[in-house]
């Protein structure tokens, strides 16, 4: 079941900045991790984010488990089970764990938004001391209305995921590693594993609708970043820099799949030389060197 569970990796940033309260609904949906204005270090904020993410994953896995218990009662599948050798040998339906492969796919979306937002706080608040957390939180509450200079600063003066920059790459790898390692500790009701994925399909829109403004400059209800790619318009260093960033993620930890959408201008891959450039681009991802930009 490859898309049982969909997780918004950016929402825990919002929860960490509001002590577990969802600012869109006003409800306490996450654990209390403290007033961010009282955090003395970025590590405290990152710990709050991790705690909120863990809570989201635990609640989500518990919800899937509760529903799976009723699978064979609501939707028995004897015809499908009769075509699967392991189900026949075990005498079990697919929903009872009869199949050899019984994974739950957990899809993580909004990786770029999470990494970029965390870096904004690390750099603008704790490193450069250009802003306070209170100023950022107030701008988020106002959806950046009346705070356009601040929003422009957050977008243009703080490095973003997808440009080969070390700081956002490091935080994106941290988020992805923690999310994957946590998901892989769970076992579903059919006795199978949970398997991590990083893609979005239409979830970048549906989850974005349920997410308020974020420190990366994204406004409330706007779409999240697609797949493992950057937020739209934030990758400005070329496709090879984008691939350099994405290659920092350990995709051996996403057995349920990952997606990166690339857009190339037709002129860059036109003719024999364009085909050679495209081939070199694909092959470069199997070794350390980066090809000449196209």
Task: For 100-149, write each residue's pLDDT tens digit.
Answer: 999 999 999 999 999 999 999 999 999 999 999 999 999 999 999 999 99
291 band by pLDDT with thresholds 50, 70 and 90: very low
CB 150 within 8 A of CB 45: no
Read off the pLDDT of each residue in 5-19 and give the average, rounded to a whole number: 97
Query: What is the pTM (predicted TM-score) of this model?
Result: 0.92
* H-type alpha helices, 69-200: 71-74, 78-81, 85-90, 111-120, 133-141, 148-156, 166-183
- 1: pLDDT strictly greater than 60: yes
Read off the pLDDT of each residue in 75-83 and give the average, rounded to a whole number: 95
pLDDT of residue 294: 42
Share above pLDDT 90 across residues of the chain, in percent, rounded to a whole number: 86
Cβ-Cβ contacts under 8 Å for 151 (sequence gap 6 or more): 139, 144, 217
Read off the pLDDT of each residue in 52-59 and give the average, rounded to a whole number: 97
Q: Let me know if 119 is exposed, middle or buried by CB neighbors in 10 A (0-12, 13-18, 19+).
A: buried
Q: How many CB atoms lie within 10 A of CB 86?
A: 15
Residue length, the chain?
Answer: 294
CA 37 to each of CA 11, 19, 113, 129, 142: distance values in angstroms, whole numbers, following the listed order? 19, 10, 21, 13, 17
d(CA 186, CA 63): 13
| 273 or 287, which is more confident | 273
pLDDT of residue 284: 75
User: Among 52-61, 208-217, 272-281, which is the least confidently predicted range?
Assistant: 272-281
Helix (H) or strand (E) holding 107: strand 104-109
CA 26 to chain centre: 24
Return mean pLDDT, the chain.
Answer: 93
User: Among 182-186, 221-225, 275-279, which is the least confidently predicted range?
Assistant: 275-279
Share above pLDDT 70 across residues of the chain, in percent, rounded to a whole number: 97
Segment 239-286, tens digit of pLDDT: 989 999 999 999 999 999 999 998 888 998 899 899 998 888 888 766
φ, ψ of residue 106 in degrees (nearest 5) = -110, 120
């Amino acid at each position: 079941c490859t898309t049982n569970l969909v997780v918004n990796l950016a929402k825990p940033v919002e929860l960490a900045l509001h002590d577990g309260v969802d600012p869109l609904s006003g409800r306490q949906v996450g654990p209390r991790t403290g007033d961010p204005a009282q955090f003395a270090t970025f590590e405290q904020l990152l710990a709050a984010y991790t705690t909120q993410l863990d809570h989201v994953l635990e609640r989500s896995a518990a919800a899937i488990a509760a529903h799976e218990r009723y699978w064979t009662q609501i939707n028995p599948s004897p015809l499908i089970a009769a075509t699967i050798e392991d189900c026949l040998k075990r005498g079990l339906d697919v929903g009872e764990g009869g199949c050899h492969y019984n994974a739950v796919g957990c899809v993580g979306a909004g990786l770029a938004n999470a990494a970029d937002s965390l870096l904004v706080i690390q750099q603008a608040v704790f490193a450069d001391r250009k802003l306070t957390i209170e100023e950022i939180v107030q701008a988020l509450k106002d959806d950046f209305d009346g705070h356009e200079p601040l929003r422009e600063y957050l977008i243009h003066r703080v490095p973003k995921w997808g440009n080969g920059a070390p700081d956002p790459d490091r935080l994106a790898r941290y988020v992805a590693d923690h999310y994957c390692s946590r998901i892989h500790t769970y076992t579903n009701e059919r006795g199978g594993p949970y398997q991590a994925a990083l893609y979005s399909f239409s979830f970048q829109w549906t989850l974005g609708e349920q997410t308020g403004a974020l420190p990366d400059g994204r406004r409330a209800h706007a779409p999240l970043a697609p797949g493992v790619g950057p937020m739209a318009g934030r990758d400005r260093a070329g496709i090879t820099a984008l691939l350099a960033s994405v290659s920092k993620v350990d995709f051996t930890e996403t057995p349920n799949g990952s997606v990166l959408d690339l857009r190339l201008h037709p002129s860059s891959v036109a003719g024999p030389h364009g085909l050679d450039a495209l081939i070199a681009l694909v092959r470069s991802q199997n070794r350390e060197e980066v090809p000449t930009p196209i």
